Structure 1
Amino acid sequence: METILTINNLTKKFGYLTAVKDLSFTINKGNVYGILGPNGSGKSTTLGIVLNVVNKTSGDFSWFEGQTTTHDALKKVGAIIENPNFYPYMSAYQNLKLVCRIKGVDYSKIDEKLEIVGLLDRKNSKFSNFSLGMKQRLAIASALLNDPEILILDEPTNGLDPQGIHQIRSLIKQIASEGTTILLASHLLDEVEKVCSHVVVLRKGEKLYSGRVDEMISSHGFFELKSVQHETLISFLQNNPDFISVKEEGELITAFLNEPMDASTFNKLMFEKGITLSHLVMRKESLEEQFLKLTDNN
């Protein structure tokens, strides 16, 4: 599989503050990667470093398996890491003409990219008349003008209303389905779960997890339980290797599975042990629960 970006032991310090600490991960062609973490976790700093707008303190990164300089590699990258910056009194088309001149791209690309982002019918409208979602889509059209191999987006749905969020997420999926690799930074678990195939979880600049989203949430799930024999049930669960951990919240017991087990098998086991259940529900962990588990005690 072709590697687009490799990051090795990357560290960035701002005085006494370590924004990124010993970070390593790889981006392969054809996937949608999310860098997930709360504000201040080092997402934007990491993107800034690989885009050559922030100087690293130590470690290194390489584009396209080190076959090219960073300067030349960035000609194959499309990025939006700040608020869209266009001339308000000019039309969408006129603004993109300026970008074409800067990037050395033919004007014929403009209509093609405006169609992708659903703004072709507004090509002659002034930027100042665009909604926030339309401005963000125009920025994506701008980033796509040079037909990049990878599109980098920093918090692409920030500040948008639900309709705008839906449009941007659908657009990201559409662009990815046509073969463009995407790297996006987000503090929204929902965004990463719905859009990304891979995720890098950061907290205070450190990597907590890197891998496929579906593998992160492919735990064996958990049972929600209630029984009048509360203490007996707790004791059984805590001493059973089939369960990785047990939580109590009032009468509700949550038992996290270490091995696959369905509800009927567990119910039969309880019956054999003489424990009567008044409540038994099996659930799968969401990305949010996995994320909270990862970031807990760190």
Structure 2
Amino acid sequence: MILSVEEIQKSYGKEKVLHGVSIRIHQPEIVALVGPNGSGKSTLLGIVTNLISPDHGKVKILNRTNKDPEIFRYVSFMQDNSVLYDYLTGYDHLQFIGDVQGISKGQILSAAERVGMESYLHKKVGKYSLGMKQHLLLTMQL
């Protein structure tokens, strides 16, 4: 089993956002999570990636709990650019991830080069275009 989401419930105050959501993905495939604004898509993905705690239910990825950090060696999640800090450079973001994951400066620079962002790597993210931010987010996953 690649992903098992069982009876996930989540509320914010009195507003119930997720009402017993269950999903099972057995084999590699492309899956779309579609719904109107405010329907809980980002909340569900936050729960799957253990960034948000559910009120009820459980998540398993590759037959392991989503609380096991080892699974994120095999699975990644690219958020929207709201996770970026305008006052930091692209390199600052990558260096933080490198420090946490034990990735060398050379590996960081190599990943930035592969994505094609070496020309603006040391500029503040607040000056980035949307495409540049997406390059940074992609590089953060490598």
TM-score class, shorter-chain normalisation, is 0.7 to 0.9
Aligned to 1:16: 14
Distance 1:128 1:55, change over 3 A: closer
* Count of residues paired in the alignment: 141
Distance 1:17 1:98, change over 3 A: closer
Provide the C-alpha distance between the structure 2 equivalents of 1:128 and 1:15, rounded to a whole number of angstroms: 33
Shift of 1:119: 1.6
Provide the C-alpha distance between the structure 2 equivalents of 1:15 and 1:103, rounded to a whole number of angstroms: 35
Name which of 77, 92, 95 aligns with 2:93. 95
TM-score (norm 1): 0.41
Shift of 1:104: 1.8
**Misfit runs of 4+, over 4 Å:** none
Provide the C-alpha distance between the structure 2 equivalents of 1:63 and 1:130, rounded to a whole number of angstroms: 34
Provide the C-alpha distance between the structure 1 equivalents of 2:66 and 2:15, rounded to a whole number of angstroms: 32
Q: In the alignment, is residue 47 of structure 1 matched against residue 45 of structure 2? A: yes
Name which of 69, 72, 79 aligns with 1:71. 69
Residue identity in the other structure for 1:85:
L
> 2:3–2:63: 8 Å Cα contact kept in structure 1?
yes
Distance 1:89 1:55, change over 3 A: closer
Aligned to 2:106: 108
1:247-271 deviation digits (Å, cap 9, x = unpaired): xxxxxxxxxxxxxxxxxxxxxxxxx
Gaps of 5+ in 1: 145-298
Distance 1:50 1:67, change over 3 A: closer
Larger-Rg structure: 1
> 2:7–2:57: 8 Å Cα contact kept in structure 1?
yes
* SS, match of residue 136 in structure 2: helix
Residue identity in the other structure for 1:138:
L
> 1:84–1:139: 8 Å Cα contact kept in structure 2?
no
Between the aligned residues of both structures, percent identity stands at: 27
* SS, match of residue 33 in structure 1: coil
Provide the C-alpha distance between the structure 1 equivalents of 2:35 and 2:98, rounded to a whole number of angstroms: 34
Provide the C-alpha distance between the structure 2 equivalents of 1:13 and 1:69, rounded to a whole number of angstroms: 20
Provide the C-alpha distance between the structure 2 equivalents of 1:128 and 1:65, rounded to a whole number of angstroms: 39
* 1:184-199 paired onto structure 2 within 5 Å: none
TM-score (norm 2): 0.77
